[in-house]
Structure 1
Amino acid sequence: MINSDDLRFFHAIATHKTLAAAARALNISPSSVTQRLQGIESRMGVKLIQRPSRVVSLTDEGSLVLARARRVIAELSELQSIIDNRLQQVTGKLRVLAPLGFGNEYVAPVLAQYALQHPGLEVELTLSDVPEWSSMHRWDVIVYIGELRDSSLRCIKLAANRRLVCASPEYLAEQGEPTSPAALKQHSCIALRENDEDVTLWRFSRDGTEMPVRIHPRLASNQGSVVKQWAMAGCGIMVRSEWDIAPQLNAGTLVRILADYSLPDADIVALSSDDTAHRSPRAENFIRLLQASLASRPWEGKTP
């Protein structure tokens, strides 16, 4: 007879390429993995893993056990969530997805504070500027900045955030300052590739009139920190979120240009399940704590 712990153990093995990798994930020795696996196989009377093999390869029976293990683990997790919801306890695992730069600067410290407040809580923070929308069900809370394309998720605004056009003083002194969006075509532009957006179409507007400009970037990167470094080095003009460049604007190492024109805002939001039954106290309380932390827009008075 096997139990749920055995199923979780086998699930860990089956979802890693090698037994050594599974041992590292489980924080036990490879020999302990082999011994426990043999014990499970002995109790079930079947082989679950093909041997010998350099990679984990399941037998037909192993594939059947893995499918049932996934179902049992999911049901146990859901049962625990239901119980936690009834008790309003902040326990279990909180999975958070956030943009790389913003998550490192503003989300990670709040998560650390939250974990200290609730000893029964586990936290998993993933940072990515290119979220995989097809796997959004994996996360309890998604912190997102930019154009929102998935309307099936519940959206809570955390803070307003403008997109601004800027360049270094050195670049503007050498190349001159553009006086209209159209003039950007005569300048070196820097593009940040994020969120699968059309990053070369800068959608300016003024007094209700849209003035989109298609730029041809001389430099482009998928990392916001790299784009900012290039702009500060005098390589060209960029569009960047206010939360990220406010310290440099305050210090004068970057200068805002085309201030009479606006770009679509990129508000900072928290996304979670739209299903009330699946909202856990750990996620709801974290969103409220993050909202309170960002209410003062801490980047506004910040300097590098």
Structure 2
Amino acid sequence: MTESADVRFLLTIQQNGSLIAAARKLGLTPSAVSQRLQQLEKKLGTRLVDRTARKLTFTEEGTLLCLRGSELVQQFDTLLEDLQVLHGGLVGPLKVNAPLGFGRRYVASAVAEFQRENPAVDVALTLSDEPLTETADRFDVVVHIGELRASNLVGHAIAPNGRFLCASPAFVKRFGSPDAPDDLARLPCIILRENKEDVSLWHFSKGKTSRSVRVASKLSCNDGDVIRRWACEGRGIILRSEWDVADDIRRGSLVRLLPGWKAPDANVIALTHNRAGLPRRTRDFMQYLQARFRPVPPWRT
């Protein structure tokens, strides 16, 4: 039977995509990694990875070993961590991914304070404009805002968050205020590019009535803070998360448009792997993050 170290070794190759990248991650030479892989295959009596000059392809046996082995390794790590917790607190690595703007404003401080309270936990925070990518499974927690499409990750509610249609008072004075969603098609709008979505098709509802409108945009960006500042400067209309524009609306830098029409909510959730077997540090961080936004998130106070 293979040992947990062998499974971890194979998982490192899978996660890094090449023997060279795995060697860099493990602090070994590529030849040492290749030799160890050959020894593992010899011990198991089966080929785990088909290797060519251009790519690695896991065999059916290698894929099965990674799939089932990762579950066993996680359960083993959780058991060890629970034992260590009994003797003095949380330990181990915690990898967190969050959107750029929300991550800077809210997640970064939560991560830093959680680590200060749990000094034996090593937290690595990654901010991304596309947190839901094929690399999401490399993180323990992925903070996501908005609708969750098909995923093998488990969602945990963090905070409610609406989406507001906004523009500056100067823009409204110049172009007027739309009376219905269809009016947006003739007005300058600013687009936020995120998660490879159809971001120029905006959806609204009022009671049982729904409207979708394709907006025209001469300005777009993948950073929500940039489009918010552009809107404050009067450059166009934005459809933006409540957490990002609530302060500007209170200050009068932005005004809500079409308040009678509701855009789909973009609630804040955190994604983890299977609920069962999560390390204690991951579970505690999830609860810590949830507590920071309850009973009312800061953008609604």
TM bucket (normalised to shorter chain) is 0.7 to 0.9
Corresponding residue pairs, total: 283
The 1:196/1:73 distance shift into structure 2, 3 A limit, reads closer
1:277 partner SS: coil
Quickly say closer, same or farther: Cα 1:76–1:158, change in 2 above 3 A.
closer
Aligned partner of 2:228 in structure 1 is 228
User: Match of 2:48?
Assistant: none
Cα distance, 1:16 vs structure 2: 11
TM-score, normalised relative to structure 2: 0.75
Dislocated runs of 4+, deviation >6 Å? 70-77
- Indicate if the aligned counterparts of 2:192 and 2:224 stay in contact, CA closer than 8 A: yes
Q: Evaluate the alpha carbon distance shift between residue 81 and residue 182 of structure 1 in structure 2; reply closer, same or farther with a 3 A threshold.
A: same
The percent identity for this pair of structures is 39
Q: Secondary structure of the equivalent of 2:129? A: coil
1:109 matched residue in structure 2: 109
Secondary structure at 1:165 match in 2: strand
How far apart, in 2, do the equivalents of 1:221 and 1:181 lie?
Answer: 22
Structure showing greater radius of gyration is 1
8 Å contact from structure 1 (residues 181, 211) kept in 2: no
Higher mean C-alpha deviation, range 91-100 or range 213-222: 213-222
In the alignment, the residues of structure 1 paired with residue 201 and residue 212 of structure 2 have an alpha-carbon distance, to the nearest angstrom, of: 6
User: RMSD of the alignment, in Å?
Assistant: 4.0
CA-CA distance at 1:77 after TM superposition: 6.8
Q: Which residue type is aligned with residue 215 of structure 2? A: H
Q: What residue identity is the alignment partner of 1:145?
A: I
C-alpha contact (below 8 Å) 1:155/1:269 kept by paired residues: yes
Which residue in the other structure is 1:282 paired with? Answer: 281
Output one character per residue of 1:155-188: Cα deviation in whole Å (capped at 9) or x when no partner.
2111110000000011001111111111111210
Question: What is the 5 A alignment of 1:235-274?
Answer: 235-273=235-273
Cα distance in 2 for partners of 1:182, 1:126 equals 38
Matched, 1:141 2:178: no
Identify if the C-alpha distance between structure 1 residues 205 and 72 changes in structure 2 by more than 3 Å, giving closer, same or farther.
closer
Q: Does the Cα contact within 8 Å between 1:201 and 1:212 map onto a contact in 2?
A: no
Give 1:264 deviation, angstroms: 0.6
The code of the aligned residue for 2:183 comes to A
5+ residue gaps, structure 2: 37-65
In structure 1, give the amino acid aligned to 2:244: D
Aligned to 2:56: none
- Contact kept? 2:186, 2:216, Cα under 8 Å: no
Q: CA deviation at 1:278?
A: 2.7
TM-score computed with the length of structure 1 as normaliser: 0.74
In structure 2, the residue matched to 1:118 is 118
Determine if contact 1:191/1:199 at 8 Å carries over to the other structure. yes
Q: What is the Cα deviation at residue 212 of structure 1?
A: 2.5
